[in-house]
Amino acid sequence: MEIHAAQDGRPTTGEADAGLSLPVEPRPLATPEEAWRIAKSLNYRHIEGTVVAVAQDVETGEILMVGHMDPVAVVLTLTTGLAHYYSTSRRRIWLKGETSGHLQIVREFRTDCDGDAVVIKVFQIGAACHLGTRSCFTSPNSFHVKL
């Protein structure tokens, strides 16, 4: 293996430089043809032409966040195995974790009976919430009422 010297003098591998040391491997869930067939079948009736997308921890079942997907986000999620959403505020596709590194590695994808919502089951790297908690539903801003 070729060894590089990082700018701080610490020796690193090419792999570590590329930031690719993930605990599980992202793998495609569908071919591009299959992914487009699923994407075309959905009903993008939510804001900005999207479906609701719910991310659930594949190991614990905890609901991590609720976002939106447009057709391209659906296809990118299925063909890369990395969760992509459509930001209704920034009006663009985003790869979850693109700046934070907090990727979601997708293992399962389901659509609902009327095709306007999807559930993805994911390995969450780090925190799902931008406020630093694992789930957006356990953030410091959240209300929680339980019997």
Tell me which residues touch its own copies (CB under 8 A): 27, 29-30, 34, 38, 41, 45-47, 52, 54, 56, 60-63, 65-66, 78, 81, 107-117, 119, 129-131, 133, 136-147
Using alpha carbons, select from 119, 124, 78 the residue that is nearest to residue 101.
124
Cα–Cα distance, 103 to 129 (Å, whole number)? 11
Spatial separation of the C-alpha atoms in residues 125 and 45, rounded to whole Å: 30
Q: How many CB atoms lie within 10 A of CB 89?
A: 6
Nearest to its own copies of 95, 137 (CB atom)? 137
Identify which of residues 46 and 95 has a Cβ nearer to its own copies in the complex. Answer: 46
Distance of closest approach, residue 145 Cβ to its own copies, in angstroms: 5
Rank residues 13 and 142 by Cβ distance to its own copies and give the closer one.
142
Do residues 52 and 73 make contact, with C-beta atoms less than 8 angstroms apart?
no
Nearer residue to its own copies within complex by CB, 10 or 91: 91
CB of 27 to its own copies, least distance (A): 6
| Calculated CA dihedral for residues 117, 50, 136, 143, nearest 10 degrees | -80
Shortest Å distance, C-beta 34 to its own copies? 8
